[in-house]
Amino acid sequence: MVVGAVNVCEFQELAKKVLPKMHYDFFTGSAEDEHTLRENVEAFRRITLRPRVLIDVSRINLSTNILGYDMSSPIMVAAIAFQNLAHSEGEVATAKAAAAANTIMLLSTTSTCTIEEVASSCNGIRFFQLYVYKRRDVSAILVQRAERSGYKAIVLTVETPKLGRRWADIKNKMVAPELKNFDGLLSTEAVDENGSKLEALASQVLDSSLNWNDIGWLKSITNLPIILKGVLTSEDAIKAVEAGVAGIIVSNNGARQLDFVPATISVLEEVVQGVGGRIPVLFDGGIRRGTDVFKALALGAQAVLVGRPVIYGLAAKGQNGVTRVIEMLRDELELTMTLCGCCSVKDITRNHVRTERDRLR
């Protein structure tokens, strides 16, 4: 039992106490002036709720289903790199907490535990997040390893042809930890001696030529469903459906890529309209409260993913901290649903929220 934290944001303070500054800044920070980082959270505060009353809410069912996989709630664990910098057990601890909570975890390509270590650590549904490298053969090997290890989908991150400029990492001369997934495949030594070694490494390896035609390449090397992570416009949502992907994640990489892109919650509805119900739309960015989860579902997301709060929980208390973060958000969502008159996730509708745009109408 974690004493002290009564909501997930309070884990941030606990994490700050235990992490070296370089690593705390890496997990917390984002691109340039961090305008979008603040907006990702603030934009939720400008959406209000429209509760309905005199509905029997004595039983609330949070369960849902994504791509055929049942989950205890629509709260998933986002792909976060370098987790052993937060806690010695790294992604394995996160995976155990996610599995125990009966929810889906995304494992980052740049995880510090290997694809296989995470897979064999516990049962649970996991998706593999993919960065595509100039060395396509390396990306292909990672995809095949994920498929062999029982991961259920490939989440292709599409908002990172290059790494965003993160000033804190530059000042701290941030260094990537050992990335065991690449042992024998690719050197992850960065050459830049002056700034963020991470930025230098990303420039060395990421394939910025990646484009819509490459969805065909990815399909040709895997039988797993492909989810695109990083869609922010209806135009790209339509293209994604045409490209035959199985789902979309509305994401701005937790504001770590391009500053002054909109808060993800403010473009969710546009993307949902572009998709028109043909594939599931997931959401991440700025989820810090159960009410945030509720708002995202009301605006059309089928589930949300949580990034930094999970890492703060991991840093503060390892697996138990991640468990607590998931539980807190789940409990808050349950209470929000109860007080809004929604007995199941399907009962949450567009009419349960009022956005800024609604107020201008």
User: Which chain residues interact with ligand FNR by CB under 6 A?
Assistant: 26-27, 40, 78-81, 108, 110, 129, 157, 229, 251, 253-254, 256, 284-287, 306-308
**Least distance (Å) from ligand FNR to the CB of residue 361?**
29
Q: Is 209 annotated as a binding residue?
A: no
**Least distance (Å) from ligand FNR to the CB of residue 176?**
11
Q: Is 315 annotated as a binding residue?
A: no
Give me the residue whose beta carbon is nearest to ligand FNR: 307
User: Among residues 30 and 222, whose Cβ is nearest to ligand FNR?
Assistant: 30
Q: Is 344 annotated as a binding residue?
A: no
Helices assigned H by DSSP within the chain? 10-18, 21-28, 35-45, 90-100, 115-121, 136-148, 167-172, 197-205, 214-221, 234-242, 264-275, 290-298, 308-340, 356-360
* Alpha-carbon span 169 to 60, nearest angstrom: 43
**Least distance (Å) from ligand FNR to the CB of residue 46?**
17
Q: Is 50 annotated as a binding residue?
A: no
User: Among residues 240 and 360, whose Cβ is nearest to ligand FNR?
Assistant: 240
User: Among residues 28 and 64, whose Cβ is nearest to ligand FNR?
Assistant: 28
Q: Is 144 annotated as a binding residue?
A: no
| Closest-CA residue to 128 (of 105, 154, 103) | 154
**Least distance (Å) from ligand FNR to the CB of residue 316?**
15
| Closest-CA residue to 160 (of 126, 201, 219, 112) | 201
Query: Which residue type occupies 72?
Result: S
Kindly state the tokens that stand for 307.
Answer: 């990034």
User: Among residues 106 and 349, whose Cβ is nearest to ligand FNR?
Assistant: 106
**Least distance (Å) from ligand FNR to the CB of residue 287?**
5
Q: Is 81 annotated as a binding residue?
A: yes
| Closest-CA residue to 277 (of 305, 249, 244, 302) | 302
Kindly state the tokens that stand for 189.
Answer: 């030594």
User: Among residues 81 and 281, whose Cβ is nearest to ligand FNR?
Assistant: 81
Per-position DSSP letters for 131-153, written without gaps between them: PPBSSHHHHHHHHHHHHHTT---
* Alpha-carbon span 39 to 283, nearest angstrom: 15
CA angle, residues 280, 273, 335, in degrees to nearest 5:
60
CA angle, residues 349, 351, 356, in degrees to nearest 5:
120
The total of other beta-carbon atoms located within 10 Å of residue 58's CB is 7
Q: Is 285 annotated as a binding residue?
A: yes
**Least distance (Å) from ligand FNR to the CB of residue 248?**
13
Q: Is 307 annotated as a binding residue?
A: yes
Q: How many helices (H) and strands (E) does the chain have?
A: 14, 12
User: Among residues 36 and 355, whose Cβ is nearest to ligand FNR?
Assistant: 36
User: Among residues 25 and 347, whose Cβ is nearest to ligand FNR?
Assistant: 25
**Least distance (Å) from ligand FNR to the CB of residue 50?**
25
Q: Is 284 annotated as a binding residue?
A: yes
Positions at the binding site: 79-81, 108, 129, 131, 157, 166, 229, 251, 256, 284-288, 307-308
Positions at the binding site for glyoxylate: 131, 166, 256
